[in-house]
């Protein structure tokens, strides 16, 4: 495999000089080809995502395909504008010069993706890489093998390997790829592996975009519409069975509202997933692997052993790799469920007395990928925004910030480096080159030596 990778990498390194000359129209043809090819493989994708994650057709269409068609259409519509050099203002040192910002392709890029939205998380950065005029090697996750196979077919059909190639495999394949001197690496995955990627990239001084995970807190203010908050949090927590990087990880609820909120959350879960007294397994995702299933079960078991209260769920279906929605409250200090990213349908609720206490708890953890606020009090909303940091935030909603390509999507420190989607993705895969066109009216020589006799200061 290493030999094959080496050949493709060298071919792409040579081809990048040809590819960089492409204009917007030529790149748009490539994006359209990608879109047409995805369309051809739609039914295979529905089947693959069902097999890997038991995603329903509707969930796949909304969270994977619709999302990618949206990104493609947005790039196709705006690429001309994104690529055109941007004017910047003059300064005292360049008073008559033309100052421009050029977006040039980085070159050969590596894209590594996780398994939770296995199609979207390969395609979204790939769209940006192509829009920006790059060659790319992509590596889907080994934990979603059916989707990985379809991705590989789509790429083989739409592109020559000298431009885009797909290598399927596990962490050891990633390790081999990471040794190569790529011009940019775009990694989506866990914070722990993100550090390994950044370390490997440092050896070649390769720039990185890291889309990582972490614990995304949700704050339900005393002045919130509790029913709406409960419904939206239930949706955000349980889509893809909680295996969403920006899912509300845990929730703060005012102590006076704790029981009411739990009741409303249960009602929302029943409305969305329980037809009779059982979860409809056709419409509820499975946990990706036995290892992740065990990890989630042990998070719940450990919290309960230490004294946490189970307010909902606690039913585990190992043969179907399914965890029914869980709510935990009265979580004791030191419980792992409040230390590591949950990434499953388990919702710890922390009751609080005042917002200062909430802010202290949020800020005692690594900066989150997402932070959600439910409140009707604009003073409290501003207070929370001003005193916390997160990759992105929704006020009175969850997840939806990811769906607007006019907004950057990404984390901060522990939850990521750089951002993606729309122009932000294009920019990530481009080098912003500063270009000054000097004018014939040029007074630069005023600052040249000899300095003897120039006793004045600017
Ligand atoms: P992961 O870090 O285990 O794996 C991600 C990718 O890295 C996979 O392709 C895997 O093969 C590869 N990999 C694994 N170990 C490696 C190693 N030692 N060296 C090199 N490569 C390695 O993550 P995961 O379990 O696939 O995904 C879940 C994580 O991804 C969660 O933390 C989640 O929050 C995060 N995530 C983030 C975003 C985002 O946009 N910020 C989106 C989805 C998922």
| End-to-end Cα separation, the chain, in angstroms | 60
What pLDDT, on the 0 to 100 scale, is given for residue 112?
98
Place of tokens 């390969």: 122
Pocket of ligand 1 (CB under 6 A): 112-116, 121, 139, 141-142, 170-171, 174-175, 188-190, 193, 196, 211-213, 245, 341, 343, 369, 411, 416
CB 186 within 8 A of CB 337: no
Instruction: Find the 352 Cα to ligand 1 centroid distance in Å.
Output: 33
Asked if 429 and 131 count as a contact pair (C-beta separation under 8 A), the reply is yes
pLDDT at 276: 59
Ligand 1 centre to CA of 65 (Å) is 21
Q: Could you confirm whether 211 is annotated as catalytic? A: yes
For position 281, what pLDDT does the model report?
A: 78
**Burial environment of residue 92 by CB neighbours within 10 A (0 to 12, 13 to 18, 19 or more):** exposed
CA–centroid distance, 193 to ligand 1, in Å, is 6
At 401 the pLDDT is 97
Handedness of CA 248, 250, 252, 256 (dihedral sign): positive
CB 142 within 8 A of CB 148: yes
Strand partners, 136: 109, 164
Cα atoms found within 13 Å of the Cα of residue 144, Cβ hemisphere only? 32
Within the chain, what is the greatest distance between any pair of CA atoms?
A: 92
Cβ–Cβ < 8 Å for 147, 45: yes
d(CA 344, CA 293): 9
Residue 14 has what pLDDT?
A: 98
Which residues of the chain, if any, have pLDDT below 70?
Answer: 275-278, 458
pTM of the model: 0.96
Q: Whose CA is nearest to atom 17 of ligand 1?
A: 171
- What residue has token string 């120039």? 454
Is the distance from CB of 349 to CB of 261 less than 8 angstroms?
A: yes
Residue identifier of the C-alpha nearest atom 40 of ligand 1: 211
**CA gap 15, 159 in Å, rounded:** 13
Q: Determine the pLDDT at residue 278.
A: 67
- Ligand 1 centre and the CA of 455: distance in Å? 60
- What is the whole-number distance in angstroms between the Cα of residue 343 and the centre of ligand 1? 12
Helix axes 24-40, 66-83, angle to 10 degrees: 170
Determine the pLDDT at residue 2.
Answer: 81
Residue nearest to atom 22 of ligand 1 (CA): 171
Q: Can you tell me the distance from the alpha carbon of 368 to that of 391, in angstroms, rounded to the nearest whole number?
A: 6
Provide CB contacts within 8 A for 15, sequence distance 6+.
Answer: 135, 162, 163
- Catalytic, out of 64, 163, 211, 231: 211
Residues whose CB is less than 8 angstroms from the CB of residue 86 and which lie 6 or more positions away in sequence, other chains included: 100, 101
**In the structure encoding, which two tokens stand for residue 106, read together?**
């980085």
Helix or strand holding residue 327 (H, E): strand 326-329
Residue 277: per-residue pLDDT: 61
ipTM above 0.85, yes or no: yes
Count Cβ atoms below 10 Å from residue 305 Cβ, excluding itself. Answer: 11
Query: What number does the ligand 1 atom closest to the CA of 246 have?
Result: 34
d(CA 319, CA 342): 21
pLDDT at 456: 76
For residue 315, the model assigns a pLDDT of 82
Report which DSSP code applies to 20.
T
Cα distances (Å, whole numbers) of residue 442 to 87, 238, 448, 452: 19, 63, 13, 22
Q: Whose CA is nearest to atom 30 of ligand 1?
A: 189
């Amino acid at each position: 495999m290493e030999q094959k990778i080496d050949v493709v990498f060298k071919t792409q390194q040579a081809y990048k000089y040809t590819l960089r000359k492409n204009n917007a129209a030529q790149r748009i043809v490539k994006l359209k080809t990608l879109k047409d090819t995805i369309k051809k493989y739609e039914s295979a994708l529905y089947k693959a995502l069902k097999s890997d994650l038991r995603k329903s057709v509707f969930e796949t269409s909304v969270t994977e395909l619709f999302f990618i068609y949206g990104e493609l259409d947005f790039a196709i519509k705006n690429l001309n504008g994104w690529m055109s050099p941007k004017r910047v203002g003059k300064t005292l040192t360049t008073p008559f010069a033309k100052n421009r910002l050029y977006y040039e392709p980085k070159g050969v890029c590596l894209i590594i993706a996780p398994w939770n939205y296995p199609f979207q998380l390969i395609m979204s950065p790939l769209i940006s890489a192509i829009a920006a005029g790059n060659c790319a090697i992509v590596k889907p996750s080994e934990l979603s093998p059916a989707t990985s196979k379809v991705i590989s077919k789509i790429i083989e059909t739409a592109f020559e390997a000298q431009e885009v190639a797909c290598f399927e495999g596990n962490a050891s394949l990633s390790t081999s790829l990471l040794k190569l001197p790529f011009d940019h690496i775009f990694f989506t995955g866990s914070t722990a592996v993100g550090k390994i990627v950044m370390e490997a990239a440092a050896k070649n001084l390769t720039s990185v975009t890291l889309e990582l995970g972490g614990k995304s807190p949700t704050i339900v203010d005393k002045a919130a519409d509790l029913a709406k908050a409960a419904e939206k949090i239930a949706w955000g927590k349980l889509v893809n069975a909680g295996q969403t990087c920006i899912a509300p990880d845990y929730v703060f609820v005012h102590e006076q509202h704790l029981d009411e909120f739990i009741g409303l959350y249960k009602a929302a879960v029943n409305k969305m997933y329980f037809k009779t007294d059982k979860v409809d397994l056709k419409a509820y995702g499975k946990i990706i692997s036995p290892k992740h299933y065990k990890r989630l079960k042990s998070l719940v078991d450990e919290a309960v052993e230490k004294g946490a209260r189970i307010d909902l769920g606690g039913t585990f279906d190992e043969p179907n790799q399914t965890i029914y929605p869980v709510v935990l409250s009265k979580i004791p200090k030191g419980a792992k469920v409040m230390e590591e990213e949950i990434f499953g349908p388990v919702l710890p609720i922390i009751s609080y007395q005042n917002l200062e206490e909430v802010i202290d708890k949020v800020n005692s953890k690594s900066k989150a990928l997402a932070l959600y606020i439910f409140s009707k009090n604009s003073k409290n909303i501003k207070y929370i925004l001003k005193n916390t940091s997160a990759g992105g935030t929704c006020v009175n909603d969850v997840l939806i910030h990811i769906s607007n390509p006019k907004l950057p999507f990404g984390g901060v420190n522990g939850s990521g480096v750089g951002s993606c989607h729309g122009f932000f993705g294009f920019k990530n895969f481009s080098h912003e080159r500063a270009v000054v066109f000097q004018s014939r009216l040029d007074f630069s020589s005023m600052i040249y030596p000899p300095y003897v006799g120039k006793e004045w200061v600017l």
